[in-house]
């Protein structure tokens, strides 16, 4: 099972340019990840994208094969994320999917990630910032600090979701538009 500590450790290491932790997380079988959207999204979309951004596309192909084999899991959402990022479907097809609750916000995010994967940093930053500016309820079924941290990092913003008060005590950052 993918533990959140391992996931955050992998993301933190990737932010420092070390992708070995991401590869270690992917090396561990996690057949139950298809039961949880956040785990599936992280394991089969975000981590492979991180590695692809660094030039290693092997995890991307493995994720595609796993998602193709189980594409109906989780209302097809991770599969459609991956297909859109790969350019296999259009924005219109993505928006017409059966699960439409947060699809417009997801499209903003995925357009940023697709631009990021294509090397278009300016468009990626703009789309990431647009996604972050949306209210939290439009972006998440269930808040995902890992995805939020990934997007803030890729947008060139501080990835931390906690800050320190004057006494050095950790406190949540005041993120505009979160309530």
The ranges assigned to domains in the chain are: 4-158
> Residue 38 pLDDT more than 70?
yes
Compute the mean pLDDT over every residue in the chain, rounded to the nearest whole number.
83
Give 167's pLDDT tier (boundaries 50, 70, 90).
very low
Q: What percent of the chain has pLDDT over 70?
A: 85
Query: Which of 10-24, 115-129, 138-152 has the lowest average pLDDT?
Result: 10-24
Q: Which residues contact 161 (CB under 8 A, 6 or more apart)?
A: 145, 148, 149, 172, 173, 175
Q: Which of 81, 75, 78 is nearest to 93 (CA)?
A: 81
104 or 176, which is more confident: 104
Say if CB 59 and CB 26 are below 8 A apart. yes
Q: Write the DSSP string, 111-178.
A: HHHHHHHTT-HHHHHHHHHHHHHS-HHHH-SS--HHHHHHHHHHTTS---SEEE-TTS-EEE---TT-
Task: Taking residues 13-41, report their average pLDDT.
Answer: 80
Token output for 41: 């999204």
Question: Are 167 and 155 a contacting pair, CB within 8 Å?
Answer: no
């Amino acid at each position: 099972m993918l533990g959140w500590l391992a996931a955050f450790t992998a993301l933190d290491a990737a932010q420092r340019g070390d992708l070995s932790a991401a590869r270690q997380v992917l090396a561990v079988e996690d057949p139950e990840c298809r039961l949880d959207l956040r785990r599936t999204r992280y394991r089969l979309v975000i981590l492979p994208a991180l590695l692809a951004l660094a030039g290693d596309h092997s995890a991307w192909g493995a994720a595609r094969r796993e998602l193709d084999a189980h594409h109906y899991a989780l209302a097809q959402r991770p599969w459609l994320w991956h297909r859109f990022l790969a350019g296999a479907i259009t924005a219109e097809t993505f928006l017409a999917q059966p699960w439409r609750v947060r699809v417009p916000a997801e499209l903003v995010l995925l357009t940023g990630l697709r631009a990021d994967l294509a090397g278009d940093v300016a468009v990626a930053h703009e789309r990431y910032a647009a996604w972050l500016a949306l209210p939290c309820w439009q972006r998440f079924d269930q808040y995902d600090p890992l995805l939020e941290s990934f997007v803030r990092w890729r947008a060139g913003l501080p990835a931390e979701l906690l800050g320190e008060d004057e006494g050095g005590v950790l406190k949540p950052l005041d993120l505009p538009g979160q309530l």
